[in-house]
Amino acid sequence: MDADEVEVVVAHAERATLRVGDVFLKIDADQARVDREVAAMALAPVPVPRVLWRQPPVLALAAIHGTALARLGTPSPASPAAWAASGATLRTLHGAPPPEWSGPSSAELRTRLDTECAALVSGGLLPADLVRRNRALAEAALAPRPAVFVHGDLQPAHVLLEGDEVVGVLDWSEGAQGDPLADLATLTLGYADRLPDVLAGYGGDVDVDGIRGWWSLRSLVAIRWLMDHGFDPFAPGCEVDVLRASG
């Protein structure tokens, strides 16, 4: 494989992704997670990276050329039509036969949420009233809903565009059966003003309070993990600002 340089896309204690020319190399010590990722991509009815080869612990994927829908903490360069197209892509995914495996249950999420809320307050990371208000909002995310095929980590950086068309959806390691509102919330986390465009493309009646609940839940449970893995949830427009806007 000839390349002028190796780009480190992301690297932390759990996994790393490198770009070498037009190939992405994902290195993950959890091979069961990689198994699920490859299987989810094979089932997904939306544009996904092509698997070139796999030699544990490395998975090689062909690069998809495009522009990210957005990157949390920065303004989105994408048009309303592109956000609507992302919603339509998500509707296609949610309407497909799901994988056999499931993501975290509501009971598991509730336990993790309560643990993280307590740690955020006891560790002095966030004011107790801010955590309490967002914990109350997060309850709407825990309501029972029919499970569908979800991406599981559909950050807008994982959606690639050419113009207003979605040409790739990346990072399927959390693909599973789950709550469709979680995907809609992750896609619009930090971009609440883009939610109407996404829902216009997604179509149908959607529980917006449930999406807002997921904004709070996802932010609360992510803060300590992000800090432990070299990310900054306190950066402008990121998770802590989402909590302040919600709570």
φ, ψ of residue 50 in degrees (nearest 5):
-85, 130
Question: What is the pLDDT confidence band of residue 3, given thresholds at 50, 70 and 90?
Answer: low
E strands present in the chain:
6-11, 15-20, 23-28, 51-55, 58-62, 67-68, 148-150, 159-162, 165-169, 176-178
Q: What is the average pLDDT score of the chain? A: 95
Give the type of residue at 245: A
* Residue whose entry in the numeric block shows the structure tokens 């989105």: 76
Query: Could you please report the per-residue DSSP string of 183-203?
Result: HHHHHHTT-GGGHHHHHHHH-
Distance CA 21, CA 29 (A): 23
Question: What is the pLDDT confidence band of residue 22, given thresholds at 50, 70 and 90?
Answer: very high
Distance CA 210, CA 145 (A): 10
Question: What is the pLDDT confidence band of residue 73, given thresholds at 50, 70 and 90?
Answer: very high
Q: What b/e readout covers 44-55, taking b as 16+ CB neighbours within 10 angstroms?
A: bebbbbeeeeee
Query: Percent of the chain at pLDDT above 90?
Result: 93
For 113-165, the pLDDT digits (tens) are 999 999 999 999 999 999 999 999 999 999 999 999 999 999 999 999 999 99
Predicted model pTM: 0.94
φ, ψ of residue 231 in degrees (nearest 5):
-105, 165
Residues pairing with 17 in the sheet: 10, 26
pLDDT, position 2: 52
Helices H / strands E in the chain, number of each: 8, 10
Query: Percent of the chain at pLDDT above 70?
Result: 98
For 174-210, the pLDDT digits (tens) are 999 999 999 999 999 999 999 999 999 999 999 999 9
pLDDT, position 92: 98
For 93-104, the pLDDT digits (tens) are 999 999 999 999
Q: Among 1-5, 6-10, 12-16, 206-210, which stretch is predicted with the lowest mean pLDDT?
A: 1-5
| 3-class DSSP state of 136 | helix
pLDDT, position 151: 98
